[in-house]
Amino acid sequence: MLNLDDRYLHPYPPVNSRPSDFGSAWWLVILEKAMAKLNINYVGINGGTPGEAFRYMTGMPVTSWNSDAITDDELWRHIQDGTAKKFPMAAGT
């Protein structure tokens, strides 16, 4: 059984607990810590969507499309449009 101090660390340890392998960037570590503080602890940031992450990191508006609600051709047009505009994009399942 976990003691009270461990309940915030297990089974969700910090994902980004060290700087990046390329360039030793600390920004992602700091961003993750800030998100944990906003959500009380690291357990509070378990889950979410790529759009939420983009919104928090950039402050810019985001758009999401559900592939079950649009045709494949419509989805492909959105991907092509985002690529042409150099928008950051992500996909999830």
User: What pLDDT does 14 receive?
Assistant: 60
Instruction: Say what the pTM is.
Output: 0.57
User: What pLDDT does 91 receive?
Assistant: 86
Number of Cβ within 10 Å of residue 45's Cβ equals 21
Sign of CA dihedral 53, 58, 63, 67: negative
Q: Which residues of the chain have pLDDT under 50?
A: 2
User: What pLDDT does 8 receive?
Assistant: 56
User: What pLDDT does 12 receive?
Assistant: 60
User: What pLDDT does 47 receive?
Assistant: 79
User: What pLDDT does 69 receive?
Assistant: 94
